[in-house]
């Protein structure tokens, strides 16, 4: 195996030599292919955040990271600000096990893959509010405002036994800021390439039993031509417009909390985002007169709201009640299309703690509704459904042992019941070295569009997955290293079948007949030497269609990250390599997307006690690459931002 990553128990060489070689070992494993998407601060984004840190995503209840068996990453606000990124997906793409694709620039259709699994196989929450699309399936990443996000938790691996439908590949929770003692205002501005301008302001605080947080932000960019002339494919039907495809967004959030009693808390959250982005759609020369250049605009609107009450009745028993609501709207013009998803959720969670034992019992209801022009105008079946669920969980942590068991039953109003389960065990071989093993089942219910649109098939079956994984992690102060080996098989994979004849559309319809296997190895590590922090991650994966034996589209077999941060004279200087091997743009594996390697540089400092600066240059070498065939990326990008946070 890899001597620097697995750290054999016997004959351990000198500590500094052993740990310093870790990033080099990961880099050499690529055989000359550079590494991709590395965290900017190792403690915040790598697989092993500070062990005393508390996370909620793994089991839906606050627990110390050291008690968990899952593969978890955490991104804090400092890391987000230093990233200089303008999209949530861009931050996540620097984490182990995650890839993204985008049809052009910020604001255009974005997909995210955890361990190669489809973007709809990731359950996404904002302050505990479920975000999803009952049209395409999966969260609309382009609509989630990074400016309003204070913290991100990522769980890799299935979690349907805890969260129900959709958590086949993983779970991502995004949190807005919570007010702390005193009053903390802030304001910031930023400027970047392609005419990027950003402005944000907000205030948070706490007084007595009341805490609050309010933030607003505006961003706009002239953008770039997402389908340049040399990437367009003219045909008898025409080609796309050569205009700049910029974007404009407004976002805000409000989070209020009130301590009703020493052990009872009431909390309300609101988030709003509105994104208008230019894109290029084919222009037809068959119109009379022909329209040569058209300003195509897509609009994404996201609204989330949540109200929760939590109570700790005694040292043993506590409860949480939550009501949530989200609305996602996507529309285009002048070629009109509109789809709207509304989700309503109800949660009643109970926790019982007895020494090293934790028992959870949860009742949950989810209501989905879809309004889609092809669906509602065709007069097809109802575009609403509901899922009722009951789940039980058990956790045990004592000494070197950690055990987590979950079982859940979901009853869907359309297709009936589905039961999922998971089991995970961790054993501390030494105080620094820990081994884990887990297995779980998961499912994803077909979207309302896949069942009831003109391309839909009402009898579609839920997609179902079975996952097993093994992990080994080493942690020693400022050093951590990890390896995770996984395999996730999905049956009844829903695909679009253009050759199908038993549906109302002449273009084909959806079918749940495919099978997929997502398997691979994730390596990660970091080491601090004085004022220098090294970090690296590497993914070797094989996301494959088992029926055709082809690789799944737009997923690389190798991707990873390599970078360093250096603190010197009040500055933090950082460099990172992001890279990916080649991918295929189509299911038939006939159209290749070339591999790429890009270098990013970042610098940050406190100009004064209250004023901070961050400057970043992405893709320093101006690498020409693409994440989706025909669509350009932004080339070399520079950004500089100032933020005022009075101390």
DSSP string, 122-173: EEEEETTEEE--TTTSS--GGGS-GGG--EEEEEES--HHHH-TTTTSEEEE
Euclidean distance between CA atoms 75 and 605, whole angstroms: 20
Contact between 211 and 205 under an 8 Å Cβ cutoff? The reply is: yes
Provide the pLDDT confidence category of residue 375 given band limits of 50, 70 and 90. Answer: very low
Question: Considering the chain, what is the average pLDDT of its residues?
Answer: 86
* Predicted confidence (pLDDT) at residue 57 exceeds the cutoff of 60: yes
- The residues, ordered by sequence, that sit 6+ positions from 28 with a Cβ below 8 Å of its Cβ are none
CA angle at 229 for the pair 223 and 234, rounded to the nearest 5°: 125
Query: How is the chain split into domains, by residue range?
Result: 3-644
Q: pTM (2 decimals)?
A: 0.88
Q: Which residue has the higher pLDDT, 457 or 10?
A: 457
What is the arithmetic mean of pLDDT over 560-571?
A: 94
* Predicted confidence (pLDDT) at residue 285 exceeds the cutoff of 70: no
Please tell me the predicted confidence (pLDDT) of residue 296: 85
Counting beta carbons within 10 angstroms of the beta carbon of residue 52, is it exposed (0 to 12), middle (13 to 18) or buried (19 or more)? Answer: exposed
Q: Which residue has the higher pLDDT, 381 or 621?
A: 621
Distinct helix (H) and strand (E) counts, the chain: 9, 34
* Predicted confidence (pLDDT) at residue 421 exceeds the cutoff of 50: yes
Q: Which residue has the higher pLDDT, 511 or 305?
A: 305
What is the arithmetic mean of pLDDT over 618-642?
A: 93
Please tell me the predicted confidence (pLDDT) of residue 28: 36
* Predicted confidence (pLDDT) at residue 340 exceeds the cutoff of 80: yes
* Predicted confidence (pLDDT) at residue 19 exceeds the cutoff of 50: no
- Show the beta-strand stretches assigned E in 157-244: 170-175, 182-192, 196-207, 210-224
* Predicted confidence (pLDDT) at residue 596 exceeds the cutoff of 50: yes
pLDDT tens by residue, 541-554: 999 999 999 999 99
DSSP-derived secondary structure letter, 141: G
What is the arithmetic mean of pLDDT over 369-375?
A: 76
Please tell me the predicted confidence (pLDDT) of residue 239: 52
* Predicted confidence (pLDDT) at residue 58 exceeds the cutoff of 90: no
> In the chain, how long is the greatest CA-to-CA distance?
79
Provide the pLDDT confidence category of residue 20 given band limits of 50, 70 and 90. Answer: very low
Please tell me the predicted confidence (pLDDT) of residue 501: 67
The size of the chain, in residues, is 647
Contact between 366 and 386 under an 8 Å Cβ cutoff? The reply is: yes
Cis-peptide, bond into residue 544, ω within 30° of zero: no
Handedness of CA 225, 230, 233, 238 (dihedral sign): positive
Handedness of CA 81, 82, 85, 90 (dihedral sign): negative
Please tell me the predicted confidence (pLDDT) of residue 283: 55
Neighbours of 373 (CB within 10 A): 14
| 76-90, 176-190, 224-238: range with lowest mean pLDDT | 224-238
What is the arithmetic mean of pLDDT over 351-368?
A: 96
Contact between 532 and 561 under an 8 Å Cβ cutoff? The reply is: no
Euclidean distance between CA atoms 132 and 581, whole angstroms: 30
- The residues, ordered by sequence, that sit 6+ positions from 321 with a Cβ below 8 Å of its Cβ are 308, 309, 310, 347, 348, 349
**Closest residue by Cα to residue 633 from 93, 217, 40:** 93
**Closest residue by Cα to residue 74 from 166, 179, 172:** 172
What is the arithmetic mean of pLDDT over 310-318?
A: 96
Burial 306-323 (b: 16+ CB within 10 A, else e): bebebebeeeeebebebe
* Predicted confidence (pLDDT) at residue 53 exceeds the cutoff of 50: yes
Please tell me the predicted confidence (pLDDT) of residue 48: 43
Which SS3 state, helix, strand or coil, does residue 242 take? coil
* Predicted confidence (pLDDT) at residue 154 exceeds the cutoff of 80: yes
What is the architecture of the domain spanning 3-644? Beta Barrel (2.40)
* Predicted confidence (pLDDT) at residue 293 exceeds the cutoff of 70: no
Contact between 574 and 82 under an 8 Å Cβ cutoff? The reply is: yes
What is the arithmetic mean of pLDDT over 279-291?
A: 56
* Predicted confidence (pLDDT) at residue 630 exceeds the cutoff of 90: no
Q: What percent of the chain has pLDDT over 70?
A: 86
How far, in whole angstroms, is CA 260 from its chain's centroid?
Answer: 34
Which SS3 state, helix, strand or coil, does residue 122 take? strand
Tokens 């010197």 belong to residue: 568
Q: What percent of the chain has pLDDT over 90?
A: 69
Please tell me the predicted confidence (pLDDT) of residue 35: 32
pLDDT tens by residue, 121-137: 999 999 999 999 998 89
* Predicted confidence (pLDDT) at residue 343 exceeds the cutoff of 80: yes
- The residues, ordered by sequence, that sit 6+ positions from 17 with a Cβ below 8 Å of its Cβ are none
Contact between 213 and 178 under an 8 Å Cβ cutoff? The reply is: yes
What is the arithmetic mean of pLDDT over 479-500?
A: 91
* Predicted confidence (pLDDT) at residue 436 exceeds the cutoff of 80: yes
536: which strand partners? 525, 562
Contact between 507 and 499 under an 8 Å Cβ cutoff? The reply is: no
Provide the pLDDT confidence category of residue 508 given band limits of 50, 70 and 90. Answer: confident
Please tell me the predicted confidence (pLDDT) of residue 3: 36
């Amino acid at each position: 195996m890899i001597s620097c990553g697995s750290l054999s128990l016997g004959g351990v060489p000198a500590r500094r030599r052993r740990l310093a070689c870790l990033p080099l070992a990961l880099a050499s494993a690529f055989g000359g292919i550079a590494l991709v998407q590395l965290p900017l601060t190792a403690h915040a984004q790598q697989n092993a955040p500070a062990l005393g840190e508390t996370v909620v995503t793994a089991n839906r209840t606050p627990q110390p990271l050291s008690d968990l068996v899952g593969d978890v990453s955490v991104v804090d606000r400092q890391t987000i600000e230093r990233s200089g990124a303008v999209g949530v997906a861009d931050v996540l793409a620097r984490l182990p096990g995650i890839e993204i694709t985008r049809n052009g620039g910020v604001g255009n259709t974005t997909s995210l893959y955890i361990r190669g699994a489809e973007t709809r196989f990731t359950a996404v929450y904002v302050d505990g509010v479920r975000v999803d699309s009952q049209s395409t399936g999966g969260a609309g990443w382009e609509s989630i405002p990074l400016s309003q996000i204070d913290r991100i938790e990522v769980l890799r691996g299935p979690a349907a036994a805890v969260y129900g439908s959709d958590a086949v590949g993983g779970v991502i929770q995004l949190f807005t800021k919570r007010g702390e003692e005193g009053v903390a205002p802030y304001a910031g501005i930023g400027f970047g390439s392609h005419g990027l301008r950003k402005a944000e302001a907000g205030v948070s605080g706490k007084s007595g039993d009341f805490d609050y947080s309010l933030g607003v932000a505006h961003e706009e960019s002239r953008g770039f031509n997402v389908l340049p002339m040399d990437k367009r494919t003219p045909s008898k039907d025409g080609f796309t417009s050569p205009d700049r495809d910029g974007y404009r967004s407004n976002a805000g959030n409000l989070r209020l909390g009130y301590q009703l009693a020493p052990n009872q808390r009431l909390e309300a959250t609101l988030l709003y985002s509105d994104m208008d982005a230019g894109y290029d759609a084919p222009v037809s020369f068959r119109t009379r007169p022909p329209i040569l250049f058209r300003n195509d605009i897509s609009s994404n609107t996201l609204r989330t709201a949540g109200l929760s009450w939590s109570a700790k009745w005694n040292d043993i028993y506590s409860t949480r009640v939550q009501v949530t609501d989200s609305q996602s709207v996507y529309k285009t013009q002048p070629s009109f299309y509109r789809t709207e998803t509304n989700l309503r959720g109800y949660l009643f969670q109970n926790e019982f703690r007895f020494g090293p034992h934790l028992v959870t019992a949860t009742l949950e209801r989810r209501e989905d509704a879809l309004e889609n022009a092809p669906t509602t105008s065709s007069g097809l079946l109802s575009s609403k459904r509901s899922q009722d669920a009951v789940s039980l969980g058990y956790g045990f942590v004592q000494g070197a042992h950690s055990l987590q068991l979950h079982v859940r039953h979901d009853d869907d109003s359309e297709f009936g019941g589905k039961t999922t389960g998971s089991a995970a065990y961790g054993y501390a071989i030494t105080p620094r070295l820990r081994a884990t093993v887990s297995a779980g089942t998961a499912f994803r219910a077909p979207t309302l569009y896949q069942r009831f649109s003109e391309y839909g098939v009402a009898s579609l079956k839920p997609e179902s997955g079975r996952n097993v994984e093994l992990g080994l992690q080493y942690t020693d102060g400022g050093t951590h290293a990890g390896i995770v080996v996984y395999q996730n098989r999905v049956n009844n994979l829903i695909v679009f079948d253009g050759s199908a004849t038993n549906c109302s559309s002449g273009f084909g319809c959806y079918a749940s007949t495919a099978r997929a296997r997502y398997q691979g190895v994730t390596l990660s590590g970091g080491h601090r030497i004085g004022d220098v922090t090294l970090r690296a991650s590497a993914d070797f994966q094989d996301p494959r269609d088992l029926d055709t034996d082809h690789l799944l589209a737009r997923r690389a077999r190798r991707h990873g990250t390599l970078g360093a941060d250096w603190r010197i004279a009040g500055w933090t200087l950082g460099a990172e390599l992001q890279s990916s091997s080649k991918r295929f743009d189509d299911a038939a594996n006939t159209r290749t997307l070339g591999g790429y390697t890009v270098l990013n540089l970042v610098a940050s400092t406190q100009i004064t006690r209250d004023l901070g600066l961050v400057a970043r240059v992405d893709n320093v070498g101006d690498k020409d690459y693409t994440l989706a065939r025909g669509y350009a990326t932004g080339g070399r990008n520079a950004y500089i931002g100032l933020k005022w946070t009075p101390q």
